[in-house]
Amino acid sequence: MSTRQHGCQSFDSLKKGLLKLLQDKAYGNDTINNYRRKLNQLERYMIANGIVTYDPSVGQRFIDDYLSTHALSKGNRQYINTVIHRLDDYCVDKYQIQRKPELTPLPESYTTLMDAYLQKCRDDGNRESTIIGKKYFLREFYCHLESLGCHDIRDADATIIGKACLMQNNKDGWAVIRMFLRYLNCSGLINHDFSTIVPHFKRAFRLPSTYTEDEVNRFEETIDTNSKIGKRDYAMLLLATRLGMRSGDIVNLTFSSLDFDNDTISITQEKTSEPLVLPMIPAVKTALADYLKNGRPKSGQPYVFLRANAPFEKITASVVRFETNKYFGKAGIDITDKKHGPHVFRSSLASSMINHLVSYDVVRKILGHKDPDAVKHYARVDIERLREYAIEPPAPSGCFKEFLEGRWQL
């Protein structure tokens, strides 16, 4: 194996070389952009610490310092390690990128049925990300059928269908398979309705992660609004903590959504495509005005929140997640066994409003839900609150009263 050293190159050359290698090996744009962001963070770390030449010890120092100051999930911690270690390998020209093998082509007979079902799902309003997930489960399902000697789903019987279902790696796929089989039968494409034999799987209900009002206040107070990036982060994250906006809606927020005269924020929710009008409460209004006047780079972009460095494009949802994790760490908030992305502010806001006797309907409207029961997944009402609304049992009467008084016998 070659041991040609890249270490004498500038860090910018190392970074571009590794990213070019990823591109040549057909890595996805999202993966390459994630690598670029992590490498840019490393480069800024080197500049801030006066480090000119990169070597593995620099990478390890960056990992240690970064992880000690940022509250990250186990997956994100592993990802940072992976990026740095692959950069180290690239420095000595030994980084061998392994790609997943090409997927085995499906027979046309199955592809036709699967594509017809997925098109129906699109017509029913399924998002493309949902379609991709369903396609994955249905592809896996066919592979199990094939391993059982069934090469055409129209020839399958109940035993083969049942065995193939039990071979699924992810039980969430059972619901997809059930609907697929029901569609095939209702469309006359198979003679039997095998959907009834697909097992049911229901995840155990878990209370949503929430943070107290004091913890949310500490989180907000940690943000340094004296810097331009701090002004951006404060305005951006106040939309999450005070209004419960999703990260996707925050990054897509445009000037046309802001009405400073009427104190409203009008958006079309990315997740549901439903319109939502939120109150521009004073704290949010002040933070937005401060960022737009004193922190936002000059740009013709229609989006409110932009990257702090050129090119001044709109931020991504990963920026919102990254900054959220950073300020959780700076605030010293305990995140043990709790989620700590921007979405937790929705559940925290719902819990806080419910415990302040705000009606479910108002909470539902603020969070942008159509389902009247949806907020019950966010709200966590304490036992004492439930006791306050306990119904007084009716006084016994009739035969039951006589029985209790010993005046009625069998």
Element (H or E) spanning 268, and its range? strand 264-268
What Cα–Cα distance (Å) separates residue 164 from each residue in 65, 105, 140, 337, 388? 48, 19, 9, 35, 51
**Confidence grade of residue 224 (pLDDT, cut at 50, 70, 90):** very high
Q: pLDDT per residue over 351-391, tens digit each? A: 888 777 878 788 888 888 877 776 666 555 444 445 555 66
- Quickly tell me which residue has 């079309």 as its tokens: 268
How much is the pLDDT for 210?
A: 86
Amino acid identity at 384: E
Q: Considering only 30-44, 59-73, 105-119, 306-320, which range has the smallest mean pLDDT?
A: 59-73
Q: What is the DSSP letter of 7?
A: T
Q: Considering only 17-21, 56-60, 253-257, which range has the smallest mean pLDDT?
A: 56-60
Q: pLDDT per residue over 25-43, tens digit each? A: 777 788 888 899 899 888 8
Q: What is the DSSP letter of 184?
A: H
Structure tokens at 160: 């083969």
How much is the pLDDT for 105?
A: 83
Q: Which residues contact 326 (CB under 8 A, 6 or more apart)?
A: 69, 70, 71
User: Global pTM?
Assistant: 0.58
Q: What is the DSSP letter of 266?
A: E
Q: Where are the beta strands (DSSP E) in 167-263?
A: 258-259
Q: Which residues of 136-165 are buried (b: 16+ CB within 10 A; e: fewer)?
A: ebbebbbebbbeeebeebeebeeebbeebb
CATH for 213-367?
A: 1.10.443.10
How much is the pLDDT for 255?
A: 96
Structure tokens at 185: 């039968």
User: Hey, which of 80-89, 183-192, 349-358 has the most confident mean pLDDT?
Assistant: 183-192
Q: Considering only 72-76, 143-147, 263-267, which range has the smallest mean pLDDT?
A: 72-76
Torsion of the alpha carbons at 245, 247, 252 and 256, rounded to the nearest 10: 20
What does the domain layout of the chain look like in residue ranges? 11-91, 108-197, 213-367
Are 251 and 317 in contact by the 8 Å Cβ rule? The answer is yes
Which 3 state secondary structure label does DSSP give 394?
coil
State yes or no: pLDDT of 317 exceeds 50.
yes
**Confidence grade of residue 102 (pLDDT, cut at 50, 70, 90):** low
State yes or no: pLDDT of 112 exceeds 80.
yes
pLDDT more than 90, % of the chain: 44
Are 368 and 270 in contact by the 8 Å Cβ rule? The answer is no
CA–CA gap between residue 39 and residue 83 (Å, rounded)? 8
Q: Which residues contact 122 (CB under 8 A, 6 or more apart)?
A: 128, 131
Helix axis angle for 228-243 and 344-355, nearest 10°, is: 50
CA–CA gap between residue 292 and residue 298 (Å, rounded)? 9
CA–CA gap between residue 299 and residue 65 (Å, rounded)? 34
Nearest to 35 by CA among 48, 16, 49, 51: 16
